[in-house]
């Protein structure tokens, strides 16, 4: 506090000195003689070049509104207006704060207005300034789209000169961030207008045009499908991109061209087995992951590659053996390295900044690589310290890293072998459980999905997870607003209930509560409904369990079954429900809940005559359980069902063309004969 | 270029006539190898083109022009392993070398499919798979492991089997090697490779068959793209090479080199301006430079007679002391006569040697069909007189020199009376010594130099007679020289080639027609220029040319000592 007080007067005096000279520049903008004003602007231009302090001073002193006024005034000479645009462009080159101030002074509409002038030099100066403003992260890109006449006008200016080409494409490349932006640009013929610029003699123009295509095509089927049919100087666009990926081209160009082809491929515009993907794009992206590339390039390369091969196992296989990719990625975890800390502080800072990005990119790529092929998963888990890295990734502070780590874990958890070995050895369930306690939804979805796999009956992690109080957690997930989380919660419970002890089953029913269970049975999401039925089916297995659960919740369960069988549901849902009914029919006491419910028996009869074999089979199975000989009271049940006409139906079904159904009906008929 | 050799080629094509496809493949191979490895001098270091029938174990069989390898041993134990090497080691001047092997058959069932593709040095035991011994490297199909001079492999890539194409790339710049499978790079397999390795394959299973592609077919892997990357890297290294510690030193040296180059080639006006603006002294008198310039311009415009005359005038003893040089100049003069550019025949063609638009290309002068037919028959008659072998039309064999000389003498009928022309020519030239002579450098690009318009000696009968007369003089000069100074095969060949021009009805499109190209004046010009400079105790080569020569020499030395980067540092790339 004391130090500050002592310092303050000194700083003020320095500032006042600086502002005195700066004020002089601003004052000259108000000179009554236009010639003096012009000279003042030119002097100002020379004074601000490369001088951030001067720029800040002029902005504070209010130069911007005056410059904008002069720029917009039709009475100003063209030369003056141009010089004003140049000075504003120079001010924009400074700090982010400068840009904010310029945007606050409504520089964007003023400059866009300026583009309507016919003078090319003035237009270029305005565009240059607009470019600088728009590529700044602090400028809201939406400002480009507020006036609907702007985009078509920019399209019409595009081919005016080398500079208009460069600045406009650069603006588009930076301001196309949403599907709506893509559509606006697409509807104004961005593709036709920009495609010829890909073979421009200017490196800068080519590069910016290429960037435009990468942002236009990203997750956009319409654009991607159009791009494949575009010819540039008689050559297919994809071939132009392939040439831009040649190894002697600038890295930025190779990477961006690979992105374009990746997006086109993911949109279905190019097949994954096309040579331009398999022999060009994929190897190019693998090269981008190499140690020789800059950290930023390695991040983008890995992310793009992960995206490219996500849905295609063949690409995953090829990538897995290309240029030692799997072990190359291990290097992504070595930042900041011990060397960088020693050699210089700047390098350490740089490495630290990119360390998170590198790690999450590597996890993403591993996740994509291992999503289908068991051998690749094995290769990944055998990479040095891989499981440890995932485990520590799960508890990193950066959400991006945590998400990517859990994605990677999820991908590897599809392997039975890994679940049995490395997952158990490294107790990955612990950090996973911790992650589930408190995380954003997207992390939760991945984590709970992984947990589902860890709860499969052959997974040795199942026991310790059960002991850690996971049931409450999963039950709370089933109450989430997100369908994906509800599915994962109920799915995990379903896996957990499979061949479980009575104790576990009772605990699940208790924790979930029948109310929630029935709420889930009427869930709008079919997946949730299916998994809930699956849970019920798993709960209602082995006779003692069936009787116990039905004795306490029989009424509600029967109600729910009735409701589903009467409702508009898919075959799969009805089949699952009939299977539950068949399980109930297998109970000792539970059977009576069906036998005493004539309405239910009519329903079973109906499904035995259904046109779908699966439903017929499930319904027949149910009847077969009810009339099973060895059990008490089987005679009465057989009689009752015979009276209701089931024997005739069974007899008919023994003639069914489906061998399974035919067998099942014959077995049931034998119960009567015995 | 001439008869005997083309006749030979014809015979050969008759012999292999059934296998045209093979010739095509050979052509493809040569083309591809030249494109991939332009820096390789195959006379010094031939490229591998097939497997060597001499450098293999007996269990290996070769077929299909020694490109297909099959195994014919028992294949029971590792003792039955067998390898074969290519005919030549990989030259360092390749920079990046690549070959592919396609697995045609993985061999009989019930055997472990041992199959190794790689590299080995000369002398490594062939009763082994590549990779098992010192200076031997291999990638094995059964387990996908790489073997680096060791019996135990390291996990490297995927396994490979029937139908797969495995590529092996040697980087001679950083001495590493990587493999490819079906066009996909598998990453570095070996580092610190020794020089002079041979492509090698090894087999150990009965029925195994593999085919090699040393460039006979397009490669599955895009090796040229990989080469592009390394060319860019090497060139960036050259561009960034640090020069001259002290300020201005480098610049001063460059300026000196440029100035001396300009002086050497007598670009006197440019040299003067350049020296002035860069503040340098010129070590030769301006008059002397101008004299040389004058002579050079004459040579380069094809006016040899005037050039010789001027040289004799300005440097009286030069040609006297250098009879070989004089002979060379005269041979060139003969060629220019055929061309119709030499002053002596030009004046006979009805034009002044000074006329600036003049060159055989001017259609106005040569359209007329006046002499055409007779001219040709006449001069052929002259050549094909008694004692002259009709074979001659196919070109000149070395033994024909004498016959030609003989025919001269035995054919007085066509003897022209040359005096007038010669005198006219030299007189006209003498009087114009002081005048500027224009160089004719762009007559081809003018587009008027059409084949149909070209006529021997410009189409004038008198000029042809003068040319033939000159030819006889040249012949006797040659004989004289031989008597005086002994045989000189260079001179003999020069004369033979020049006379061969007359054997064709249209010398310009004949196999020896290249001599008529104006570009051939340049070596003559520079030899004469160097000779003049030497008599003044000035270097016969400018330092710039010396530096270029040294750089080229350096590159070939690098090639010999195994520095692969020479492949991507061609001097020519920096001269244009």
CATH of the domain at A663: 1.25.10.10
User: Are B228 and B271 in a shared domain?
Assistant: no
Q: Lowest mean pLDDT: which of A410-414, A471-475, A498-502, B348-352? A: B348-352
Question: Is a pLDDT exceeding 80 seen at residue A169?
Answer: yes
How big is chain A, counted in residues? 674
Nearest-by-Cβ selection for A322 from B184, B229, B231: B184
Q: What is the pLDDT of residue A595?
A: 84
Residue A397 CB coordination number (10 Å): 7
Taking an 8 Å cut-off on Cβ atoms, the answer to whether A247 and B229 are in contact is yes
Q: How confident is the model at residue A434 (pLDDT cuts 50, 70, 90)?
A: confident
Highest-confidence segment of A560-569, A585-594, A602-611, B199-208: B199-208
**Among B187, B204, B233, which residue terminates a domain?**
B233
Spatial CA neighbour of A578 closest among A601, A561, A566, A595: A561
List of chain A residues whose C-beta atoms are within 8 Å of the C-beta of residue B188: 324
Q: How many cross-chain Cβ pairs, A to B, lie less than 8 Å apart? A: 34
Taking an 8 Å cut-off on Cβ atoms, the answer to whether B184 and A279 are in contact is yes
**Among B203, B233, B263, which residue terminates a domain?**
B233
Q: Work out how many domains chain B is built from and give that number.
A: 2
Q: What is the pLDDT of residue B244?
A: 67
Q: What is the pLDDT of residue B13?
A: 39
d(CA A349, CA A355): 10
User: Are B172 and B285 in a shared domain?
Assistant: no
Q: Which of residues 172-201 of A touch B (CB under 8 A)?
A: none
Taking an 8 Å cut-off on Cβ atoms, the answer to whether B186 and A318 are in contact is no
Q: Mean pLDDT for chain A?
A: 89
Question: Is a pLDDT exceeding 90 seen at residue A306?
Answer: yes
- Residue A285 domain flag: no
- Residue A588 domain flag: yes
- Residue B413 domain flag: no
d(CA B490, CA B328): 10
Q: Work out how many domains chain A is built from and give that number.
A: 1
Taking an 8 Å cut-off on Cβ atoms, the answer to whether A318 and B187 are in contact is no
Helix (H/G/I), strand (E/B), else coil: A145: coil
- Residue B118 domain flag: yes
User: Are B473 and B333 in a shared domain?
Assistant: yes
Helix (H/G/I), strand (E/B), else coil: B87: coil
User: Are B226 and B273 in a shared domain?
Assistant: no
Q: What is the pLDDT of residue B363?
A: 33
List of chain B residues whose C-beta atoms are within 8 Å of the C-beta of residue A291: none
Q: How confident is the model at residue A102 (pLDDT cuts 50, 70, 90)?
A: very high
Q: What is the pLDDT of residue B576?
A: 67
Give the residues of chain B that fall short of pLDDT 70. 1-20, 110, 112, 244, 349-453, 576
Tokens of A23: 């004020």
Between A340 and A426, the higher pLDDT residue: A426
Q: What is the pLDDT of residue B414?
A: 38
Residue A591 CB coordination number (10 Å): 23
Angle at B2 between CA B378 and CA B405, to 5 degrees: 50
- Residue B358 domain flag: no
**B228 shares contact with chain A (CB less than 8 Å):** yes
Distance of CA B411 to the CA centre of its chain: 39
CA–CA distance from B456 to each of A442, B187, B250, B378, B419 (Å)?
Answer: 89, 63, 52, 11, 20
Q: What is the pLDDT of residue B420?
A: 34
Taking an 8 Å cut-off on Cβ atoms, the answer to whether B225 and A246 are in contact is yes
Q: Lowest mean pLDDT: which of A6-15, A62-71, A610-619? A: A6-15
**Shortest distance, CA B111 to any CA of chain A (angstroms):** 24
Domain span including residue A610: 561-673
Q: Which of residues 171-200 of B touch A (CB under 8 A)?
A: 181, 183-188
User: Are B129 and B188 in a shared domain?
Assistant: yes
User: Are B22 and B163 in a shared domain?
Assistant: yes
Query: What DSSP designation does B194 have?
Result: P
User: Are B262 and B224 in a shared domain?
Assistant: no
Q: Which residue of B has its CA nearest to A322?
A: B186
- Residue A466 domain flag: no
User: Are B158 and B269 in a shared domain?
Assistant: no
Average pLDDT over residues A630-643: 80
Tokens of A186: 């697409």
Tokens of A355: 């360390």
- Residue B380 domain flag: no
Whether A102 contacts A136, CB under 8 Å: no
Helices (H), B94-144: none
List of chain A residues whose C-beta atoms are within 8 Å of the C-beta of residue B181: 321
d(CA A216, CA A222): 10
Q: What is the pLDDT of residue A339?
A: 65
Q: How confident is the model at residue A129 (pLDDT cuts 50, 70, 90)?
A: very high
Q: How confident is the model at residue A342 (pLDDT cuts 50, 70, 90)?
A: low
Q: What is the pLDDT of residue A376?
A: 94
Taking an 8 Å cut-off on Cβ atoms, the answer to whether A248 and B229 are in contact is yes
Strands of the sheet containing B68-71, edge to edge, are B60-63, B68-71, B208-213, B96-106, B165-171, B176-181, B184-190
d(CA B69, CA B49): 14
- Residue B42 domain flag: yes
List of chain A residues whose C-beta atoms are within 8 Å of the C-beta of residue B165: none
**A382 shares contact with chain B (CB less than 8 Å):** no
Instruction: Kindly report, residue by residue over B3-18, the tens digit of the pLDDT.
Output: 333 333 333 434 444 4
Nearest-10 crossing angle of helices B249-264, B268-277: 160
- Residue B194 domain flag: yes
- What is the greatest pairwise CA distance in chain B? 96
Candidates B156, B183, B225, partner chain A, best to mutate (most A CBs within 10 A): B225
List of chain A residues whose C-beta atoms are within 8 Å of the C-beta of residue B225: 246-247
List of chain B residues whose C-beta atoms are within 8 Å of the C-beta of residue A280: 222
Candidates B144, B176, B184, partner chain A, best to mutate (most A CBs within 10 A): B184
3-state secondary structure A577-603: HHHHHHHHHHCCCCHHHHHCCHHHHHH
Q: What is the pLDDT of residue A326?
A: 94
Upstream peptide bond of A336 is cis (omega within 30 degrees of 0): yes
Spatial CA neighbour of A216 closest among A169, A252, A148: A169
- Residue A617 domain flag: yes
Average pLDDT over residues A605-618: 88
User: Are B61 and B181 in a shared domain?
Assistant: yes
Taking an 8 Å cut-off on Cβ atoms, the answer to whether B184 and A248 are in contact is no
Helix (H/G/I), strand (E/B), else coil: B489: helix
- What is the greatest pairwise CA distance in chain A? 119
**B235 shares contact with chain A (CB less than 8 Å):** no
- Residue B246 domain flag: no
Taking an 8 Å cut-off on Cβ atoms, the answer to whether B186 and A323 are in contact is yes
Angle at A339 between CA A336 and CA A345, to 5 degrees: 70
Average pLDDT over residues A307-315: 96
User: Are B54 and B119 in a shared domain?
Assistant: yes
Query: What DSSP designation does A141 have?
Result: G
**Shortest distance, CA B65 to any CA of chain A (angstroms):** 31
List of chain A residues whose C-beta atoms are within 8 Å of the C-beta of residue B187: 322-324, 328
d(CA A290, CA A206): 25
Domain span including residue B461: 251-350+456-568
User: Are B148 and B211 in a shared domain?
Assistant: yes
Angle at A273 between CA A269 and CA A275, to 5 degrees: 90
- Residue B188 domain flag: yes
Q: What is the pLDDT of residue A16?
A: 57
């Amino acid at each position: 506090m004391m130090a500050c007080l002592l310092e303050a007067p000194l700083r003020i005096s320095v500032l006042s000195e600086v502002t005195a000279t700066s004020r002089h520049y601003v004052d000259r903008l108000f000179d009554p003689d236009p010639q003096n004003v012009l000279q003042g602007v030119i002097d100002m231009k020379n004074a601000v070049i490369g001088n951030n302090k001067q720029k800040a001073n002029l902005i504070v002193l209010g130069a911007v509104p005056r410059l904008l006024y002069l720029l917009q005034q039709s009475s100003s000479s063209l030369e003056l207006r141009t010089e004003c645009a140049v000075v504003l462009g120079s001010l924009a080159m400074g700090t982010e704060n400068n840009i904010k101030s310029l945007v606050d002074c409504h520089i964007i509409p003023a400059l866009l207005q300026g583009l309507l002038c016919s003078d090319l030099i003035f237009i270029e100066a305005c565009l240059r300034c607009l470019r600088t403003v728009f590529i700044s992260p602090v400028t809201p890109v939406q400002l480009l789209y507020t006036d609907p006449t702007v985009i078509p006008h920019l399209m019409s200016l595009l081919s005016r000169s080398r500079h208009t080409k460069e600045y406009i494409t650069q603006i588009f490349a930076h301001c196309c961030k949403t599907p709506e932006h893509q559509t606006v640009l697409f509807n104004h013929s961005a593709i036709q207008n920009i495609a010829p610029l890909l073979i421009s003699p200017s490196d800068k123009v080519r590069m910016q045009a290429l960037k435009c295509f990468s942002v236009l095509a990203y997750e956009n089927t319409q654009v991607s499908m159009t791009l494949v049919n575009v010819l540039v100087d008689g050559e297919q666009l994809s071939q132009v991109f392939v040439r831009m990926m040649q190894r002697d081209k600038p890295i930025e160009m190779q990477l961006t061209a690979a992105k374009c082809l990746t997006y086109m491929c993911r949109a279905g515009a190019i097949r994954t087995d096309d040579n331009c993907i398999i022999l060009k794009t994929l190897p190019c992206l693998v090269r981008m992951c190499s140690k020789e590339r800059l950290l930023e390039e390695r991040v983008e390369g890995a992310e793009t590659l992960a995206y490219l091969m996500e849905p295609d196992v063949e690409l995953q296989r090829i990538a897995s053996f290309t240029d030692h990719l799997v072990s190359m990625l291990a290097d992504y975890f070595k930042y900041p390295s011990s060397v960088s800390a020693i050699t210089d502080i700047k390098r350490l800072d740089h490495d630290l900044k990119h360390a998170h990005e590198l790690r999450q990119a590597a996890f993403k790529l591993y996740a994509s690589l291992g999503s289908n092929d068991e051998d690749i998963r094995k290769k990944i888990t055998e990479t040095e310290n891989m499981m440890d890295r995932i485990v520590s990734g799960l508890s990193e502070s950066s959400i991006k890293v945590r998400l990517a780590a859990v994605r990677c874990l999820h991908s590897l958890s599809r392997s039975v072998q890994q679940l049995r070995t490395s997952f158990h050895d490294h107790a990955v369930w612990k950090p996973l459980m911790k992650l589930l306690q408190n995380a954003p939804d997207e992390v939760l979805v991945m984590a709970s999905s992984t947990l589902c796999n860890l709860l499969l009956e052959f997974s040795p992690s199942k026991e310790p997870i059960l002991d850690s109080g996971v049931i409450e957690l999963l039950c709370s997930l089933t109450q989430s607003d997100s369908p994906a989380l509800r599915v994962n919660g109920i799915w995990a419970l379903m896996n957990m209930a499979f061949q479980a002890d009575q104790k576990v089953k009772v605990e699940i029913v208790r924790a979930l509560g029948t109310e929630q269970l029935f709420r889930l049975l009427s869930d709008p999401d079919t997946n949730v409904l299916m998994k809930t039925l699956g849970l019920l089916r798993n709960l209602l297995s082995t006779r003692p369990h069936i009787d116990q659960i039905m004795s306490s919740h029989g009424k509600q369960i029967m109600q729910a079954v009735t409701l589903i069988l009467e409702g508009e549901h898919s075959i799969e849902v009805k089949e699952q429900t009939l299977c539950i009914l068949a399980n109930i029919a297998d109970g000792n006491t539970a059977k009576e809940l069906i036998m005493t419910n004539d309405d239910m028996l009519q329903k079973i009869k109906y499904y035995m005559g259904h046109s779908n074999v699966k439903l017929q089979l499930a319904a027949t199975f149910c009847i077969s359980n009810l009339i099973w000989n060895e059990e008490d009271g089987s005679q009465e049940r057989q009689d009752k069902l015979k009276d209701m006409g089931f024997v005739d139906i069974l007899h008919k079904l023994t003639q069914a063309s489906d061998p399974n159904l035919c067998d099942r009906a014959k077995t049931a008929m034998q119960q009567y004969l015995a | 270029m001439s008869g005997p050799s083309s006749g030979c080629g014809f015979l050969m094509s008759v012999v292999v006539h059934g296998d045209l496809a093979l010739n095509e493949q050979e052509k493809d191979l040569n083309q591809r190898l030249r494109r991939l490895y332009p820096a390789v001098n195959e006379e010094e270091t031939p490229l591998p083109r097939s497997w060597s029938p001499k450098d293999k174990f007996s269990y290996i069989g070769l077929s299909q022009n020694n490109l297909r390898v099959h195994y014919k041993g028992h294949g029971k134990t590792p003792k039955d392993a067998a390898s074969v090497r290519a005919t030549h080691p990989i030259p360092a001047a390749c920079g990046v070398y690549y070959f592919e092997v396609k697995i045609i058959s993985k061999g009989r069932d019930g055997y472990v499919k041992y199959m190794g593709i790689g590299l080995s040095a000369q002398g490594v035991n062939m009763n082994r798979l590549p990779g098992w011994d010192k200076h031997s490297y291999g990638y094995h199909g059964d387990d996908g492991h790489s073997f680096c001079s060791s019996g135990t492999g390291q996990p490297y890539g995927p396994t490979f089997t029937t139908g797969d194409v495995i590529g092996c790339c040697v980087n001679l710049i950083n001495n590493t090697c990587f493999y490819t499978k079906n066009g996909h790079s598998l990453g570095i397999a070996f580092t610190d490779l020794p020089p002079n390795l041979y492509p090698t394959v090894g087999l150990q299973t009965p029925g195994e068959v593999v085919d090699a592609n040393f460039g006979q077919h397009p490669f599955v892997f895009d090796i040229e793209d990989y080469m592009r990357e390394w060319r860019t890297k090497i060139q960036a290294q050259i561009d960034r090479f640090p020069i001259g510690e002290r300020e201005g030193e480098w610049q001063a040296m460059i300026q000196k080199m440029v100035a001396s180059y300009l002086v050497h080639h007598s670009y006197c006006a440019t040299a003067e301006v350049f020296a002035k603006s860069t503040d340098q002294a010129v070590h030769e008198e301006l008059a002397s430079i101008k004299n040389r310039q004058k002579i050079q311009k004459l040579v380069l415009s094809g006016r040899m007679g005037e050039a010789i005359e001027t040289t004799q005038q300005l440097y009286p003893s030069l040609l006297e002391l250098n009879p070989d040089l004089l002979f060379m100049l005269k041979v060139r003069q003969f060629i220019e006569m055929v061309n119709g550019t030499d002053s002596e025949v030009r004046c006979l063609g009805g034009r002044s040697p000074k006329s600036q638009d003049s060159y055989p290309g001017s259609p106005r002068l040569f359209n007329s069909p006046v002499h055409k037919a007779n001219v040709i028959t006449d001069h052929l008659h002259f050549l094909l007189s008694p004692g002259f072998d009709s074979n001659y039309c196919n070109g000149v064999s070395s033994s024909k020199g004498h016959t030609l000389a003989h025919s001269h003498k035995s054919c007085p009928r066509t003897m022209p009376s040359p005096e007038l022309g010669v005198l006219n020519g030299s007189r006209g030239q003498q009087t114009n010594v002081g005048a500027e002579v224009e160089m004719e450098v762009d007559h081809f690009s003018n587009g008027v130099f059409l084949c149909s318009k070209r006529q021997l000696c410009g189409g004038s009968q008198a000029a042809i007679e003068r040319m033939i007369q000159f030819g006889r003089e040249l012949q006797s000069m040659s004989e004289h020289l031989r008597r005086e100074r002994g045989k000189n095969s260079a001179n003999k060949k020069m004369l033979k080639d020049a006379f061969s021009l007359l054997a064709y009805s249209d010398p310009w499109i004949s196999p020896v027609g290249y001599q008529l190209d104006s570009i051939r004046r340049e070596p003559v010009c520079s030899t004469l220029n160097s000779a003049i400079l030497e008599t003044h105790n000035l270097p016969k080569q400018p330092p710039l040319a010396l530096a270029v020569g040294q750089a080229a020499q350096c590159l070939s030395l690098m090639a010999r000592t195994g520095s692969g980067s020479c492949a991507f540092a061609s001097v020519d790339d920096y001269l244009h």
